[in-house]
């Protein structure tokens, strides 16, 4: 069965490759701004499902993975920054505080009504970083394509004190959650083994 990742995220693509999954990338065209929701978790789930269903509608025999990662501070969802100035404002809001990262994951079997979905939350604590650290990060350009204007891997790790929960969730794909969902459709034992080996060698904060 073909597996399709309904996302252009290079981080999600990287993580799925490390699982040894054979998949193709086909981003969805869903407008997330029109999705109604009452809670942040509900939004992440609905957005992930909408993306997976959008791509699945173009296929008859495929397993489609949709995901949506949001950064939540108090009652607000912090999306991708529009420009460097917007990224600076977002990161200054996060500085010295804790926030929640939620990723909704949905797996849809194209041509059927079969779906499996769940969401994972991780608490991220930011350092009270200096203005110089902030400006160096902004200059790298790493903030512009990420929800909350930062990435936990690479240079972005210098902004973060620690995390409570699933590290890979903050990267954009909670792998154990994804594998559990895929297990409703395909064998995943070998993928769990691959993931456990990957975790041992992966350099975190």
pLDDT, tens digit (0-9, with 9 covering 90-100), for 119-134: 999 999 999 999 999 9
Q: How many helices (H) and strands (E) does the chain have?
A: 7, 7
Task: Give the pLDDT of residue 203.
Answer: 62
Among candidate residues 22, 31, 61, 68, the one labeled active-site is 68
Asked whether the predicted pLDDT for residue 205 surpasses 70, the reply is no
Task: Give the pLDDT of residue 87.
Answer: 97
Structure tokens at 138: 């902004």
Alpha-carbon distance 73 to 204, whole Å?
23
Structure tokens at 110: 């194209």
Give the residue from 7, 4, 6, 5 showing the smallest Cα distance to 147.
7
Asked whether the predicted pLDDT for residue 181 surpasses 90, the reply is yes
Domains identified in the chain, total number = 1
Place of tokens 């193709």: 24
Most confidently predicted of 18-32, 88-102, 135-149: 88-102
Residues in the chain: 205
Q: Where are the alpha helices (DSSP H) in the chain?
A: 10-18, 40-56, 84-94, 131-140, 167-171, 175-182, 189-201
Structural domain boundaries enclosing 141: 2-201
For the residues 24-30, what does the mean pLDDT come to? Answer: 96
The pLDDT-based confidence of 57 (bands split at 50, 70, 90) is very high
Asked whether the predicted pLDDT for residue 204 surpasses 80, the reply is no
Task: Give the pLDDT of residue 177.
Answer: 97
Q: Give the side-chain half-sphere CA count within 13 A for 93.
A: 20
- Catalytic, 76? Answer no
For the residues 35-54, what does the mean pLDDT come to? Answer: 97
Structure tokens at 163: 């995390």
Task: Give the pLDDT of residue 131.
Answer: 95
Confirm if 128 and 96 have CB atoms less than 8 A apart. Answer: yes
Residue 58: CATH number of its domain: 3.90.950.10
Task: Give the pLDDT of residue 101.
Answer: 98
């Amino acid at each position: 069965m073909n597996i399709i990742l309904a996302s252009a995220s290079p981080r999600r693509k990287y993580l799925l490759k490390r699982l040894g999954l054979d998949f193709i990338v086909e981003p969805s065209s869903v407008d997330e701004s029109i999705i109604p929701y009452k809670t942040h978790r509900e939004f992440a789930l609905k957005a992930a499902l909408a993306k997976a269903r959008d791509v699945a509608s173009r296929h008859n025999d495929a397993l489609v993975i949709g995901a949506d990662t949001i950064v939540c501070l108090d009652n607000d969802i912090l999306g991708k920054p529009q420009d460097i100035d917007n990224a600076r404002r977002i990161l200054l809001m996060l500085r010295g505080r804790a926030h929640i990262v939620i990723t909704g994951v949905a797996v849809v079997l194209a041509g059927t009504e079969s779906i499996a979905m769940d969401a994972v939350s991780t608490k991220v604590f930011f350092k009270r970083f200096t203005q110089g650290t902030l400006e160096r990060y902004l200059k790298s350009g790493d903030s512009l394509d990420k929800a909350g204007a930062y990435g936990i891997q690479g240079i972005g790790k210098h902004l973060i004190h620690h995390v409570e929960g699933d590290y890979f969730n903050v990267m954009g794909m909670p792998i154990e959650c994804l594998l559990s969902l895929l297990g409703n459709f395909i064998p995943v034992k070998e993928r769990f083994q691959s993931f456990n080996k990957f975790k041992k060698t992966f350099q975190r904060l």
